[in-house]
Amino acid sequence: MEIFVEVARQRSFSAAGRRLGLSRALVSKHILQLEEKLGVRLLHRSTREVSLTDAGQAYLEPCSAAVAQAQEAARIVTQQGAELAGPLRIQAPSSFGSAWLADALARFSLPHPQLQPLLHVDDALLDPIEHGFDLTIRVGGIPDSRALAIRPLAPCRAVLCASPDYLGRHGMPATPEELQDHRCLHFSHLTDGTAWHFARDGDGVADGDMRRVRVNAGFTSNNGMVLHGAALQGMGIVYSTTFLAWRALLDGSLVQVLPQWQLPLNYLSALYPASRQPSPKVRRLIDFLVAEYQPVPPWDAALAQSAATVQAPSA
């Protein structure tokens, strides 16, 4: 099967033989044996080139997939415990890539000097197969695709916050509807446009209270870091994530808005092609990130510890 795939790619017995380290006669012999076993003719032979028959064309795709899977299985077995090396192409959202992944990737790579990580930060929902990434980190927006395997890395909690200066000038909203009177900093990749969704458990107002509010997007960007910076400058109330806002919330440069209301919960997930087993370097990076961010990601753990310290009775 491997010889057939190479002949189909090269359109030549001789060229395939050179790639595989076999003589032209041996390549031809193996192809004849394969055709006899299948009972069909796979290739048209001529003095100038080799071409696929209809049966050969139909056989090529599943045959190529089987060969690739077998080669990947061999690599996994032979490379277990081996030094990680070569390119490792990763795509991640700009905010998470800058705030967390770059540091984790550096620590992961340090013991493997032959590893060549390439981190592409982009808030567009890029298809890892189409763009040639070994691994894509995504916040929400998980595609309904059998071509991609998905492994959850961590919960991704959304949070509204604003600077003390902005809230001092414009006041703290008491309900989601009051956001319509405020300047809001909007992330353009939210799936429902400028409509922000809120939920609250039963608290005497309404059991399972749900709200949908279309806000005044005074500033919009497709980059969470840009919006975070604008919020720190007092431009308005930002729709952010705890992995990006946690430090500012801890030092008081940002204040949480409407803390009694919950925003939709997303997840950080790792996506990779499902058609093959992940390579050792991809698999070990995913395992490393799972250990980094589970069961509670460090940014949420820091916020929870701060809240517990504030609520603890003084001695």
User: What value does the mean pLDDT take over residues 200-206?
Assistant: 56
The model's confidence at residue 204, banded by pLDDT at 50, 70 and 90, is: very low
- The DSSP string of 209-260 is EEEEEE--EEEEES-HHHHHHHHHTT--EEEEEHHHHHHHHHHTSSEEESTT
User: What value does the mean pLDDT take over residues 148-173?
Assistant: 94
pLDDT reported for residue 306: 87
Q: Comparing C-alpha atoms, which of 126, 94, 90 is closest to residue 106?
A: 90
Pick 158-264's CATH classification: 3.30.1360.180, 3.40.50.300, 3.40.190.10, 3.40.50.720. 3.40.190.10
The model's confidence at residue 64, banded by pLDDT at 50, 70 and 90, is: confident
Pick 86-157+267-304's CATH classification: 3.40.50.300, 3.40.190.10, 1.10.3720.10, 3.30.70.270. 3.40.190.10
User: What value does the mean pLDDT take over residues 239-265?
Assistant: 95
Are 91 and 120 within 8 A, CB to CB?
A: yes
Q: Is the pLDDT of residue 81 over 60?
A: no
Pick from 5-9, 187-191, 247-251, 302-306 the range whose average pLDDT is largest: 247-251
Are 294 and 104 within 8 A, CB to CB?
A: no
| CA–CA separation, 29 and 127 (whole Å) | 41
The model's confidence at residue 21, banded by pLDDT at 50, 70 and 90, is: confident
pTM beyond 0.75: the answer is no
pLDDT digits (tens, 9 = 90+) for 102-113: 999 999 999 999
pLDDT reported for residue 45: 87
User: What value does the mean pLDDT take over residues 17-34?
Assistant: 90
User: What value does the mean pLDDT take over residues 94-119?
Assistant: 93
Are 272 and 134 within 8 A, CB to CB?
A: yes
Residues of the chain with CATH 3.40.190.10: 86-157+267-304, 158-264
* Paired strand residues for 308: none
Q: Is the pLDDT of residue 208 over 70?
A: no
Are 272 and 136 within 8 A, CB to CB?
A: yes
pLDDT digits (tens, 9 = 90+) for 232-248: 999 999 999 999 999 99
CATH class of 2-79: mainly alpha
Are 120 and 234 within 8 A, CB to CB?
A: no
The model's confidence at residue 65, banded by pLDDT at 50, 70 and 90, is: confident
Q: 60: which residues sit within 8 A by CB, 6+ positions away?
A: 4, 5, 8, 52
Are 115 and 84 within 8 A, CB to CB?
A: yes
pLDDT reported for residue 196: 92
Residues of the chain with CATH 1.10.10.10: 2-79
